[in-house]
Amino acid sequence: MHLRPRRNRKSAAVRSLVRETRLSASDFVYPLFIHEKEVDEEIESMPGCKRWSLDGLVAEARSAHELGVPAVVLFPAIADELKTPGAEEAWNPDGLVQRAVRRLKEAIPSLCVITDVALDPYNSDGHDGLVARDGEGTIHVLNDETVECLCRQALSHAEAGADIVSPSDMMDGRVAMIRHELDCEDFLEVSILSYSAKYASAYYGPFRGALESAPKDGDKKTYQMDPGNAREAIREVGLDEAEGADMVMVKPAGPYLDIIARVREATVLPVAAYQVSGEYLMIESAGAAGWVDTKAVALESLTGIKRAGADIILTYYAKRAAQWLKD
| Known binding-site residue numbers | 236
Q: List Cβ<8 Å contacts ≥24 apart for 90-94.
A: 90/119, 90/121, 90/122, 90/149, 90/152, 90/153, 90/156, 91/149, 91/152, 91/153, 91/155, 91/156, 92/156, 93/156, 93/159, 93/160
| Marked catalytic residue, from 198, 220, 306, 319 | 198
Secondary structure (3-state) at 278: helix
Q: Residue 105 catalytic?
A: no
Q: What is the DSSP string of 11-78?
A: SHHHHHHH-S----GGGEEEEEEE-SSSS-EE-TTSTT-EEEPHHHHHHHHHHHHHTT--EEEEEE--
Q: How far apart are CA 14 and CA 19, in angstroms?
A: 9
Q: Residue 216 catalytic?
A: no
Side chain identity at residue 88, one-letter code: E
Task: Decide: 26 and 70 in contact? Cβ < 8 Å.
Answer: yes
| Marked catalytic residue, from 83, 220, 251, 306 | 251
Kindly give, in sequence order, each residue whose CB lies less than 8 Å from that of residue 39, ignoring residues fewer than 6 positions away.
53, 56
| Known binding-site residue numbers for Mg(2+) | 236
User: Which are the catalytic amino acids?
Assistant: 198, 251
